[in-house]
Amino acid sequence: MIHLKPEELSIPDLQRTLQFAVGPRPIALVSTVDRDGRVNLSPFSFYNVFSTNPPIVVFSPARRGRDGSTKDTLNNVFAVPEVVIHSVSHAMVEQTSLSSTEYDTGINEFVKAGFTAIESDLVNPPRVAEAPVAMECEVIEVKELGSGPGAGNLVICEVKLIHINHSVLDEEGRLDQDQLDLVGRLGGDWYVRANGDALFEVEKPLATKGIGVDALPKPIRTSTILSGNDLGRLGNVEMLPTEEEVAEFSTHRRIREIFDQTADRIERRELLHHYAKEALENNKVKKAWKILLTDRLNAPKTNSNT
């Protein structure tokens, strides 16, 4: 590995490193107004949700890297502490990128990017009609992190009203992750799309207390075939299959074929680990455990089960 000290890097090199290393980052498309009511619209990928009660989202319009000057969004927030934060879908990503152009102060990015501005209910900045989700917010604090080029400014916002397009709701009236089709920001010109095969679920250990990777038998924990993700899934179970379940499973055809294929314990273990990996890839964690635990058995008896 290489080792980098931030103070030894130029601001552009440090920013590039951080933006490639930290991602994908959600994108906040933020509308603001100045004291004269002039509208600004700009995207920020230093952004996330930080509290549910109260509902708090935070984004950071950093100072410009070339001269440390502040952006119109930040100036507007100090003048009129209200924003509308929009989620960015794939259908609007090119227009969103266009809105990030450094237009002169007073230029309306809604117009430049071709977005439709509609009146908000509770705050002065308008919202983007094309956005799947729009959150009207009050700015409760701005925390300046520095005064030099690249310094961030945490704009802490309390969500007051959420608008959701019907097209991104499921049959139960809740947000549908696939229909949202959100995009995330990576380094350079790269983005990522949260849709289709890119989406996957990982069971959160909230209601259960997994045994942990440290509790896995050493031959499993040190496997050259099972990945860290595989070990994590195996460690997320509360209890292992019983000896009776493993003994019954060991009579299945595929297990018998593996035992018949080789008498070498190491080679047989590798075959079982490959089989268990297939089961894990198909979300069959208990089956994977049964496969792995048959390694402790002698050659299983014949059975017609498959």
What residues does each domain of the chain span? 6-198, 213-296
Task: Extract the tokens encoding 226.
Answer: 């099972």
> How many CB atoms within 10 Å of residue 280?
21
What per-residue confidence (pLDDT) applies to 298? Answer: 66
What per-residue confidence (pLDDT) applies to 305? Answer: 47
What per-residue confidence (pLDDT) applies to 262? Answer: 86
For 141-188, give the DSSP string. Answer: EEEE--SSTT--EEEEEEEEEEEE-GGGB-TTSSB-HHHH-EEEE-ST
CA–CA gap between residue 28 and residue 48 (Å, rounded): 8
Architecture of domain 6-198: Roll (2.30)
SS3 54: coil
Res. 125: pLDDT tops 60? yes
pTM value surpassing 0.85: no
What per-residue confidence (pLDDT) applies to 306? Answer: 41
What per-residue confidence (pLDDT) applies to 206? Answer: 66
Res. 50: pLDDT tops 90? yes
What per-residue confidence (pLDDT) applies to 9? Answer: 94
What per-residue confidence (pLDDT) applies to 66? Answer: 81
